[in-house]
Amino acid sequence: MPYARVVLGFLLAILTTGWGCMPGADSRPNIVLIVLDTVRADRMDCRSDNAVPTPRIDELCARGSYFERVSSTSSWTLPAHASLFTGLYPIRHGATQEYTFLDERARTLAELLGEGGYRTFGVSANPVVSIQSGLARGFDSFEETWRVSAGPASTRPERHPNLLALDELLEYRDTRRPFFLFVNFIEAHGPNEPPEPYRSAVARRRIDSREISEAREHDAEHYYLDPASVSESDFTLLATLYDGEVAQLDALVGALIDRLEADGLLEDSVLILTSDHGENFGDHGHFRHVFSLHQSTVHVPLLVVLPDHAHAGERRSDPVALVDLFATILAAAGVVPPASDNDARDLFAAEPSVDAERPVVAEYYFPAQALSLFEPDALVVHRDRLGRYLRRLRSIESDGLRLIWSSDGAHELYDLAADPSETRNLAGDPRFAARERELHAGLEAFVAESGGPRPLPGGAWRRGEPRGAFKDLDSESAELLRELGYLPR
Ligand SMILES: [Zn+2]
């Protein structure tokens, strides 16, 4: 072949495929996004004195940046994952307690990365993060691993259904193209039943199976109808079991890292470890993660390990919203989001955004899904108990103050610097009146900029009928959703 034709062919190949898609020429990083469902920031904080032993995550901490002030956009799985995937707050992506489905109004990370030349793999152990809920949209392959029986070898981390799914995905991946891998681990979600050896690793005494089955009896529906049914010591036991699950997650993250390293894939990857929301164990009179927007349910951990360990060992204290991972991931992949029509900012932008100290918001909508857990007449019979939760919540954090706005007027205000656990409600305190007004105005501006307030749901929720992600379920998904407390038992 004459030289000119070779050059012409080469140029045509570049013009038609782009540099990024030339076989063997795409050097963009793989992106691995791991969500440790339901893990509070105080359980994974990259500090050596943490009560929960997480040696494998600690190794990663030394290689990456830990973000100390990260807020999820909500306190439960569906809206938080939808924000992660769209870069939008719930008010704009619309997947909430009132409408349990991520519809097509927004493009997802998987869609954008796929169009940008990435292979996209999803692996989820949480049936709320599913094809059914719309969260799988855009993935080339989405493995719903709750359908896989873990079997007797399940306590071996490398035999976990998520790890087996990963094995298969890596075996058949296209080595000429980078990949985006999303993995959700469900272990820390209730019910809290860590296997050995993780149970003993955190408890200072033996916890027998009788205690575990008694702890299992405590669920959110019973607690909210009779708060005295769960004692302080019950909560202590539940929190200890939860810690055991965090220890188990550490081993699972370790196995996943080992698997990537075995194929030489870790060094060139962006690795993100985070959570979708936290958990209450009696905090603020709450159990699990319904009806609440306190820090115990929205403050989540975030560790980002970049290729070549850039920023290794860094701790960042600027306020971060979970939506920011959307922009951070697209920037790392060199993919431009459509018309920057989202609420996210790249955490590693060369020039930090001028509003790096911008307010951070979280939302919890009218609890139509959570109320479906109760008997249909519960709201009539137990109006005194449940009536107070019939409201929408929004929180805004700015300059160390955090306002939790409530649609029934029972607002709360906390000084996070002096009171990080939010024990002293300062709403109405004249010393903070001006700041409180500013925060209210900030939330009003947020709602106005996001398209204005939505009408409260009509009477449909009263019938307790499942909708969206919880409607027309196959029996496997329904069974696990019951187990996890998303459907009535
Ligand atoms: Zn979750």
Q: How many A from CA of 20 to the centre of ligand 1?
A: 35
Which tokens belong to 370? 């959570």
Residue 479 or residue 313, greater confidence: 313
The yes-or-no verdict on residue 2 having pLDDT over 50 is: no
Q: How many Cβ atoms from other residues are within 10 Å of residue 455's Cβ? A: 6
The gap between the terminal CA atoms of the chain, to the nearest Å, is 72
Closest CA to 363 of 450, 282, 301, 281: 450
CATH of 28-356, one of 3.40.50.720, 3.90.1010.10, 3.20.20.70, 3.40.720.10: 3.40.720.10
343 pLDDT above the threshold of 90: no
Separation of CA 27 and ligand 1 centre (Å): 33
75 C-alpha vs ligand 1 centroid, how far in Å?
A: 8
Say how far apart CA 148 and CA 217 lie, in whole Å.
25
Q: Is the pLDDT of residue 325 over 70?
A: yes
485, pLDDT greater than 60: yes
Taking alpha carbons only, the member of 313, 208, 248, 224 closest to residue 37 is: 248
Amino acid at 442: G
pLDDT of residue 380: 82
Residue 154: the pLDDT is: 58
Tell me the CA–centroid distance for residue 238 and ligand 1, in Å: 17
Ranges for all domains in the chain classified under CATH 3.40.720.10? 28-356
Find the 100 Cα to ligand 1 centroid distance in Å. 14
pLDDT of residue 157 exceeding 50, the answer is: yes
Residue 23, both tokens: 């076989």
Helices 161-171 and 232-262: crossing angle in degrees, nearest 10, is: 20
Q: Please report the pLDDT score of residue 271 as a whole number.
A: 98
Q: What is the pLDDT of residue 373?
A: 85
Find the 166 Cα to ligand 1 centroid distance in Å.
Answer: 21
> pLDDT higher for 352 or 345?
345
Q: How far is the CA of 164 from the centre of ligand 1 (A)?
A: 22
Calculate how far, in angstroms, residue 67's C-alpha sits from the geometric centre of ligand 1: 19
pLDDT tens-place string over residues 221-233 = 899 999 999 999 9
Please state, in angstroms and rounded to a whole number, the distance separating the CA atoms of residues 34 and 28.
19
Ligand 1 mean position, distance from CA 54 (Å):
20
Q: How far is the CA of 69 from the centre of ligand 1 (A)?
A: 19
Q: What is the per-residue pLDDT across 425-439, written as a single tens digit (0 to 9) for each?
A: 999 999 999 999 999
278 C-alpha vs ligand 1 centroid, how far in Å?
8
204 against 177, higher pLDDT:
177
Q: 113-140: per-residue pLDDT in tens? A: 999 999 999 999 999 999 999 999 999 9
95: CA distance to ligand 1 center in Å? 14
Calpha distance 330→259 (Å, rounded): 24
pLDDT score recorded for residue 290? 95
Residue keyed to tokens 């609440």: 292
pLDDT digits (tens, 9 = 90+) for 346-358: 999 977 665 656 7
- Ligand 1 center–CA 76 separation, angstroms: 5
Q: What is residue 354's predicted lDDT score, i.e. its pLDDT? A: 55
Mean pLDDT for the chain?
A: 88
- The Å distance, Cα 130 to ligand 1 centre, comes to 12
34 and 272 Cβ atoms separated by less than 8 Å: yes
Structure tokens at 308: 């070549």
DSSP 8-state secondary structure symbol assigned to residue 363? E
Model-level pTM? 0.91
pLDDT tens column, 22-71: 445 688 999 999 999 999 999 999 987 777 889 999 999 999 999 999 99
Calculate how far, in angstroms, residue 410's C-alpha sits from the geometric centre of ligand 1.
26
